[in-house]
Amino acid sequence: MTDESQLSDPRISLVDADLAGLPPVTIIKAEIDPLRSDGTMLADAIEAAGSPVEQRTFDGVTHEFFGMAAVVEDAAAAQDYAVERIEADLSE
């Protein structure tokens, strides 16, 4: 960004974007994450726009946990959850 006016650009802040008509959305959040509330705000905005959204917070993990399945048990569970959601959404 070059100035604060760009903060409302929907490419930067999805909450400010037109979210109507999205396919089903799954948001996976970590409990220990400074962006966790952003995920909740995005889910609320998607839902308010009339699109289906599911969100899940994994307790006791940090922001980067999703790609750490080799050492973080909940990462594997989060990956399995993502696959389940994709398969469910594709079968509808």
pLDDT of residue 49: 96
Nearest Cα residue to 62 out of 29, 16, 25: 29
Contact criterion met (CB below 8 Å) for 29 and 39: yes
pLDDT of residue 6: 86
d(CA 53, CA 26) in angstroms, rounded, equals 6
The structure tokens 């696959």 sit at: 83
Give pairs for 35-43: CB < 8 Å, separation 24+.
35/63, 41/15, 42/14, 42/15
Tokens of 1: 């960004």
Nearest Cα residue to 43 out of 24, 65, 67, 63: 24
Backbone phi and psi for residue 27, each to the nearest 5 degrees, phi listed first: -120, 125
pLDDT of residue 9: 86
pLDDT of residue 1: 76
pLDDT of residue 75: 97
Extract the residue ranges of the chain whose pLDDT is less than 70.
Answer: none
